Amino acid sequence: MVGFPSILEGIKDLDKGHILQLLERAEDLKSGSPARLPLQKSLAVATSFLEHSTRTKHSFAMAIKRLGGFHIDFQAENSSLKKGESLEQTLLTLKYQGIDICIIRTQQSHLLEEFKGHPPIKIINGGDGSNQHPTQALLDLYTFCDDFGGIKKLEGKKITIVGDCRHSRVTHSLIDLLPMFGIELALCGPDEFMPQEIAPGIKRIVDIDTAIQESDALYLLRIQSERHNSTHADILNDYHTHWGINFDKFRKHKKALPIYHPGPANIGVEVHEEIMDSEIWKAHKQVENSVYMRMAIIEAMINNEDHHIGHANKKVTGDICEGKSQHDI
Ligand code: NCD
């Protein structure tokens, strides 16, 4: 895919053309199309999850395997990062060992920004703090296409994200992605969980009843307590009553909506178990589709050869070069 970035840090690294091609390719792969990768060697990926993960980590592992590649699980705790080696040198080491792409999840927002001008290796962001989670947003868009009958049908659809939007990297990526395709995005939840500034064009809905009435789909979030500065005990205690989704709330409006969730879901908090046992619960489909979207992303990144990857190879000039061969230096 022409011009596909060597570092996928956030949705803004992609243009609409890239995204449309990813959607098409994910669908092809789901229909059984074989991987399109260079044949000289098998795909080698390092996964480095410096924060807990079930879905993202294993979905990448499945995607790599289905592309005919293999992955090495890089354990930061047991690595030379603990001996003071920089992340850049660590990534360069992986590159020279033959790793093609490194998938990184970290608690630190914006950690990957420093590599943007001179990528030590191809990198996919598997979620950085509360900043971005681009592959989740892309697989969500793919799932919406699946459920609503294609990308064109999404134009004008109203999707409301309910919950802890402020601390959610998934929300930040969805805010960048969904309006590009005409989706009318709204945020709903307690004031404390709303972003300090809401991007232009994104609506704020103040209560769950209005969200149910006005939306075509709801996207629920887990409360991201690990990123909170204060406990928010008052909100958490009766969260389900005010913001949680159950069939009683739908009955009131004589309406049920498809419910999406990036997982992990906390039963009895943002969602009642009865919803998760029903056909309106779309989270399993998101998980299933995640493998194909991540296959498409890896394939696109591998196929876009970038000759600037690796060490900057700065020229050594001046006194230290005089009278010495390259090998002496
Ligand atoms: C999310 C994450 O880790 O950002 N989950 C995921 O990747 N599927 C959401 C969350 O942790 O709440």
Q: Is the pLDDT of residue 326 over 90?
A: no
User: Which residue's alpha carbon is at the smallest distance from atom 12 of ligand 1?
Assistant: 222
By mean pLDDT, which of 43-52, 66-75, 118-127, 313-322 is the weakest? 313-322
* CA gap 251, 130 in Å, rounded: 34
Percent of the chain predicted with pLDDT > 90:
80
Contact call for residues 219 and 160 (beta carbons, < 8 A): yes
Token pair 């989704």 is found at 245
Average pLDDT over every residue of 105-119 = 94
The domain covering 7-132+287-304 belongs, at the CATH homologous superfamily level, to Aspartate/ornithine carbamoyltransferase (3.40.50.1370)
**How many CB atoms are closer than 10 A to CB 23?**
20
Residue 138 has pLDDT above 90, yes or no: yes
Chain CA centroid to CA 226, Å: 18
Residue type, 117: G
Q: Per CATH, is 134-285 categorized as 3.40.50.300?
A: no
Burial class (CB in 10 A: 0-12, 13-18, 19+), 10: buried
Q: Would you say the CB of residue 55 lies under 6 angstroms from ligand 1?
A: yes
Domain borders along the chain are 7-132+287-304, 134-285
Q: What is the pLDDT of residues 158-189, one digit of tens each?
A: 999 999 999 999 999 999 999 999 999 999 99
Q: Do domains 7-132+287-304 and 134-285 have the same CATH topology?
A: yes
pTM above 0.75, yes or no: yes
Report residue 195 as tokens.
Answer: 């972003």
Ligand 1 nearest-atom number relative to CA 222: 12
pLDDT of residue 79: 86
pLDDT in tens, 225-280: 888 877 787 888 899 999 999 999 999 999 999 999 999 999 999 999 999 999 99
Instruction: Dump pLDDT digits (tens) for 66-102.
Output: 999 999 999 888 888 888 899 999 999 999 999 999 9
Helix extents (H) in 76-168 = 87-96, 134-148
Q: Are strands 158-162 and 217-220 parallel, antiparallel or unpaired?
A: parallel
Q: What's the gap in Å between 288 CA and the centre of ligand 1?
A: 15
Q: Round to whole Å and give the CA distance between 274 and 163.
A: 19
